[in-house]
């Protein structure tokens, strides 16, 4: 079944995120992410690994952010996820599928995510087919220039280029 941009969110694609290895610039993977769960429940499973150069990082070894300090001076720390940007939400590494278009940046967490965006751009009707729009769905988040039909051909060509 084709996933519709109106029923899925960016977050649905975080279990396997293709990123640029910060050491060797090859395509690498951030795995273990779980959509719609508190990071504390699965942080042991999240890791970065690059097959090309062997670099790996476990998420639980990364530093926690200081959230606040209470009146008794006790510091509260946690790990914070940064969703909906062109980097993985755990380590902040740049996503592999990131394209500078003349309108702005188009990005995806992985090839399936890119496919949903591509299908969305390519569909001539953009109809919701009676589907209820999910809050924060990909379709509701994409910028207007992605939705503009006169940019369709240009954007689809660019996507073809980075899919290889
Ligand atoms: Zn590498």
Q: Ligand 1 centre and the CA of 109: distance in Å?
A: 18
- What is the pLDDT confidence band of residue 140, given thresholds at 50, 70 and 90? confident
- DSSP, collapsed to helix, strand or coil, labels residue 50 as coil
CA of 18 to the centre of ligand 1 (A): 12
Count the residues in the chain: 164
The pLDDT, as a whole number, for residue 126 is 61
The two most distant CA atoms of the chain are separated, in Å, by 60
CA distances to 22, 25, 33 from 43, in Å: 21, 25, 8
For a pLDDT cut of 70, what percent of the chain falls above it?
91
Tell me how far the alpha carbon of residue 58 lies from the centroid of ligand 1, in angstroms.
15
Q: Which two tokens stand for residue 50?
A: 């690059």
Q: State the pTM of this model.
A: 0.87
Give the DSSP letter of residue 95: B
d(CA 115, CA 67): 36
Tell me the mean pLDDT in the region 41-52: 96
Is the confidence at residue 108, as pLDDT, over 70?
A: yes
pLDDT digits (tens, 9 = 90+) for 60-96: 998 888 888 899 999 888 888 889 999 999 999 999 9
Region 35-57: mean pLDDT is 95
Ligand 1 is an ion; its neighbours by CB within 5 Å are 21, 23-24, 26, 50, 52-53, 55
Spacing, Cα 27 to ligand 1 middle (Å): 7
Interval between CA 50 and ligand 1 midpoint (Å): 5
Instruction: Give 3-state DSSP helix, strand, coil % of the chain, rounded to 5.
Output: 30, 20, 50
- The residue ranges of every structural domain in the chain are 10-66+77-163
**150-161 residues labelled b (16+ CB within 10 A) or e (exposed):** ebeeebeebbee
Task: List, for residues 119-139, the tens digit of each pLDDT value.
Answer: 999 886 665 566 666 678 898
């Amino acid at each position: 079944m084709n996933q519709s941009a109106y029923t899925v969110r960016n977050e649905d694609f975080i279990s396997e995120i293709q990123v640029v290895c910060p050491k060797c610039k090859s395509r690498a993977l951030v795995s273990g992410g779980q959509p719609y769960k508190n990071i504390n429940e699965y942080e042991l499973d999240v890791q970065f690994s690059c097959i090309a150069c062997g670099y790996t990082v476990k998420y639980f070894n990364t530093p926690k952010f200081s959230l606040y300090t209470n009146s008794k001076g006790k510091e509260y720390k946690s790990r914070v996820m940064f969703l909906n940007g062109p980097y993985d939400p755990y380590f902040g590494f740049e996503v592999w599928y990131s394209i500078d278009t003349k309108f702005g940046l188009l990005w995806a967490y992985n090839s399936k995510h890119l496919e949903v965006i591509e299908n969305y751009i390519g569909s001539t009707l953009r109809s919701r087919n009676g589907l209820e729009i999910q809050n924060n769905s990909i379709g509701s988040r994409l910028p207007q220039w992605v939705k503009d039909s006169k940019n369709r051909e240009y954007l689809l060509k660019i996507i073809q280029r980075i899919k290889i």
